[in-house]
Every structure is written in C-alpha cells, then in structure tokens.
C-alpha cells in the first residue's frame, strides 16, 4: 500500500470579524509571526516566508499555488482544520473557496478542531473567546448537512466509500455515540457506506478513547503525542523541568531537543488493535504566538526531518492498513511547523519530503533532481 503524506492545514490567514474584535483589526496568523523575537542564543525568529509571501487566503490564487507546490514535492493532500461551534463557523472561507474552485486541485479532508478558543496571554489570566459546545440532534444534522457538500466532492479523501473525518478532541464530546450514529446513517442515506472517523492521539487518554468510542482509526498528532506524560522514567524529569517548571512556574520560554522528541515518536506507538496512522513534525516553536509562555525545539534541520520521516514511512509499512502519514504541518507558521518555503531553508523541507518518499520507494523521481541543499 503506497504511503500518502497528508499535511495539516491552518486556514487562519485571512481576516474575520471575530479575530478583528479579539486581537485587533487586520489580525491573521502572520501578525504573530512578524512580531516574534529570539528567546535564546541561536533561536530562529522571526520566521519569514520566502519572497515575503505573506499570502491572504481570501485570494484563491494563493490556494491554487499551494496545492500545486505540495503535489510537486509529493504531498498527497491537505487536512483542513474545521471550526464549528454549535452552528457557528469560523475560518471556513479557504475550504469553501476550495470547494468552488477546481483549480485548487489536491485531495483534502477535515479535522474538526473542536476546542474552545482561549487568549492565554491576557494580562488578567486566560480569557475564553469562544466556547466549544455540541448542542443536540438538530445541530448535529445541520453540521452534517454543511459538511455533505465537501464529502461529495471528488477531491475529498474517502476510504471504502466513507468520508474521512478526524476528531481533534474526543474527550470533550459527551454526546459522541449519539452524534456518531446519526452521522453514519445520514452518510448512508447520502450514498456513502458510512463515515470513517479518525481519533487524534495527543494524550494518554486518547488511546483508550479510540477503542471505547469505536473509531475506525487513530493518528499520532506529533509532536504533542510524544510529549504526553506516558510511563517513561527517562522523560519524567525532562518534561517537568522543561515544561512545568520553566514555562508555568518561572514564566520563561522552555525548549526541547528535536532529536529527543523524535526518538519518542519513533518508539511509543500504541498497540491497541486499531488502524494507526503515524505522525511526523517539521519543527515546533510556539514562542511567536505565546511569547515568554511558549516553548521551542532545538536542533531541527531539513536533513534530520528527512531522516525521521523516512523511518516513519518504513515503520508504517509494517503496520496493517496504515496508508497515511500526517505531517504537522503545511502552514502553522506561528507554531514553527510548516513545510512551506521560508527565507532560511527555502524549499529544503519540501525537498526532504520528496527525497524521503523516493528513497523509501514511495515516489518515482528522476535521480538527477535529487536535492542539494539539505542542511
């Protein structure tokens, strides 16, 4: 089974009234990126897109170019974050534009990012901006009917005639079983064979929920899943010092070793008898968004990313029905997780994907085009 790279896709690169109210007029993800400053020696901030390409996703041409670029380097598809708050949509424009524009020609699916939005840097403490709620049956039906136009699109990713739909935070959905059953029945009435639900593994509890709530599959959201406090003595001190003591008590940015986190990603895949899609991450640095309350990883390079991605591809070949590898991310610039070209590395991370696929015999590319500038 060919391995397909799906890159997580953040749509927060266009103005919406809510962000203008909460963060100031004109706010997009780029605003945080531009304000970022180095927090320690050698810290790469701010991160600047190649050719100052601070695109606006209200312009469909940006998405056309993204799709073409991704496919050129072997990325199979995008997984758009989807935001639905009991009938209220946020950041839906890029997905809706994709639906209307066949030139945005790349497979896609949704991850319902079903979490409340919180301002964690408010001077008076955390401030909840919008609360995630789930309503009752009428809202579930309304939600499915909104999604149906995407599910029926030829570009939408399906498995066995079932639309792939990822749940970001299953733990908070007390009505999951009822909602799930209604959606499956509605999908069948729409001509599908059901729904293909995928659970996101971020914490220890998510492993159990994959089985408890009858998910079809699960995927490892990296690097979050690798820093979950699972029973590994070698990581306990590291976690509490770096994240809890430095970040939460001292109030200074903390940093992890890129290689140390990857060593966990390569060894801590759960064995809970469910189809599992492995994860990969380009880098991780949330100081652009959260400042001194953020954390960053040290040591990331395109060459290392290629090495670790190759290992994940090889590992996935030994796993049953593990068709996809989810990469964090296509364009999460304020979290330092992006495949898109920047001024420092240019196209090297995309080239790393291309070579990793080629060298694991998952992509046939002319060897004369082998990348030269990984570092």
Question: Of the candidates 222, 143, 221, 131, which has an alpha carbon nearest to the alpha carbon of residue 182?
Answer: 143
pLDDT of 1: 72
Question: Of the candidates 55, 36, 56, which has an alpha carbon nearest to the alpha carbon of residue 46?
Answer: 36
Q: State the pLDDT confidence band at 373, using cuts at 50, 70 and 90.
A: very low
CA-to-CA distance for 78 and 156, rounded, in angstroms? 10
- Decide: 295 and 256 in contact? Cβ < 8 Å: yes
CA-to-CA distance for 273 and 30, rounded, in angstroms? 41
- Decide: 80 and 95 in contact? Cβ < 8 Å: yes
Q: How many Å separate Cα 6 from the centre of its chain?
A: 9
- E strand or H helix that includes residue 207: helix 204-212
Alpha helices by DSSP H, the chain: 17-23, 29-35, 60-72, 93-100, 137-151, 176-189, 204-212, 233-239, 258-265, 287-290, 302-316, 348-359
Burial degree of 188 (CB within 10 A; 0-12, 13-18, 19+): middle
Flag the least confident range among 86-95, 144-153, 330-339, 362-371: 362-371
Q: State the pLDDT confidence band at 234, using cuts at 50, 70 and 90.
A: low
Instruction: Give the domain 4-369 fold.
Output: TIM Barrel (3.20.20)
Q: State the pLDDT confidence band at 362, using cuts at 50, 70 and 90.
A: confident
Kindly state the tokens that stand for 181.
């059953």
3-state class (DSSP) for residue 81: strand
Phi, psi angles (nearest 5°) of residue 337:
-120, 95
| Mean pLDDT along residues 198-224 | 96
Kindly state the tokens that stand for 226.
């690798």
pLDDT of 243: 64
CA-to-CA distance for 199 and 165, rounded, in angstroms? 9
pLDDT of 227: 84
Compare 255 and 243 and report the one with higher pLDDT.
255
| Mean pLDDT along residues 33-43 | 93
- Decide: 31 and 351 in contact? Cβ < 8 Å: no
Q: For residue range 161-180, list pLDDT tens digits in order.
A: 999 999 999 999 999 999 99
Q: For residue range 286-308, list pLDDT tens digits in order.
A: 999 988 878 899 999 999 999 99
Phi, psi angles (nearest 5°) of residue 180:
-60, -45
Q: How many CB atoms lie within 10 A of CB 366?
A: 7
CA-to-CA distance for 31 and 33, rounded, in angstroms? 5
pLDDT of 241: 64
Compare 83 and 2 and report the one with higher pLDDT.
83
Q: State the pLDDT confidence band at 368, using cuts at 50, 70 and 90.
A: very low
| Mean pLDDT along residues 102-124 | 88
**Looking at the predicted structure, is the pLDDT value of residue 371 above 60?**
no
Q: State the pLDDT confidence band at 244, using cuts at 50, 70 and 90.
A: low
Q: How many CB atoms lie within 10 A of CB 343?
A: 13
β-strands 196-201, 162-167: how paired?
Answer: parallel
pLDDT of 256: 85
- E strand or H helix that includes residue 107: none
Q: State the pLDDT confidence band at 321, using cuts at 50, 70 and 90.
A: very high
CA-to-CA distance for 147 and 92, rounded, in angstroms? 11
What percentage of residues in the chain have a pLDDT greater than 90? 82
Compare 73 and 241 and report the one with higher pLDDT.
73
Q: What is the mean pLDDT of the chain?
A: 92
Strands (E), 23-176: 75-85, 88-90, 108-112, 117-119, 127-130, 158-159, 162-167
Burial degree of 89 (CB within 10 A; 0-12, 13-18, 19+): middle
Q: How many Å separate Cα 16 from the centre of its chain?
A: 21
**Looking at the predicted structure, is the pLDDT value of residue 212 above 60?**
yes
pLDDT of 364: 66
**Looking at the predicted structure, is the pLDDT value of residue 185 above 70?**
yes
């Amino acid at each position: 089974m060919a391995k397909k790279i799906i890159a997580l896709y953040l749509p927060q690169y266009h103005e919406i009234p809510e962000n203008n109210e909460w963060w100031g007029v004109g706010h997009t993800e780029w605003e945080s990126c531009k304000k970022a400053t180095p927090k320690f020696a050698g810290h790469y901030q701010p991160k600047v897109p190649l050719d100052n390409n601070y695109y606006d996703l209200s312009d469909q041409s940006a998405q056309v170019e993204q799709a073409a670029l991704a496919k050129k380097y072997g990325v199979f598809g995008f997984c758009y974050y989807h935001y639905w708050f009991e009938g209220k949509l946020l950041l839906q424009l890029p997905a809706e534009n994709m639906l209307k524009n066949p030139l945005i020609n790349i497979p896609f699916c949704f991850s319902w990012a079903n979490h409340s939005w919180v301002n964690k840097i408010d001077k008076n403490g955390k401030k909840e901006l919008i609360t995630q709620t789930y309503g009752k049956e009428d809202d579930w039906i309304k939600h499915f009917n909104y999604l149906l136009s995407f599910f029926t699109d030829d570009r939408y990713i399906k498995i066995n005639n079932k639309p792939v739909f990822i749940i970001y935070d299953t733990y908070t959905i007390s009505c999951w079983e009822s909602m799930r059953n209604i959606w499956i029945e509605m999908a069948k009435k729409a001509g599908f064979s059901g729904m293909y639900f995928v659970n996101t593994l971020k914490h220890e509890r998510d492993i159990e929920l994959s089985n408890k709530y009858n998910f079809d599959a699960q995927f490892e959201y990296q690097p979050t899943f690798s820093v979950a406090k699972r029973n590994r003595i070698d990581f306990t001190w590291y976690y509490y010092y770096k994240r809890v003591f430095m970040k939460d008590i001292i109030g200074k940015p903390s940093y992890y070793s890129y290689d140390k986190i990857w060593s966990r990603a390569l060894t801590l895949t759960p064995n809970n008898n469910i189809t599992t899609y492995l994860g990969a991450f380009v880098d991780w640095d949330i100081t652009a968004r959260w400042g001194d309350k953020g954390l960053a990883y040290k040591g990331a390079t395109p060459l290392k990313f290629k090495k670790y991605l190759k290992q994940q591809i090889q590992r996935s070949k030994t796993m049953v029905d593990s068709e996809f590898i989810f990469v964090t991310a296509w364009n999460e610039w304020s979290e330092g997780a992006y495949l898109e070209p920047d001024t420092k590395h240019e196209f090297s991370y995309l080239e790393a994907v291309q070579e990793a696929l080629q060298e694991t015999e998952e992509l046939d590319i002319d060897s004369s085009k082998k990348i030269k500038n990984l570092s």
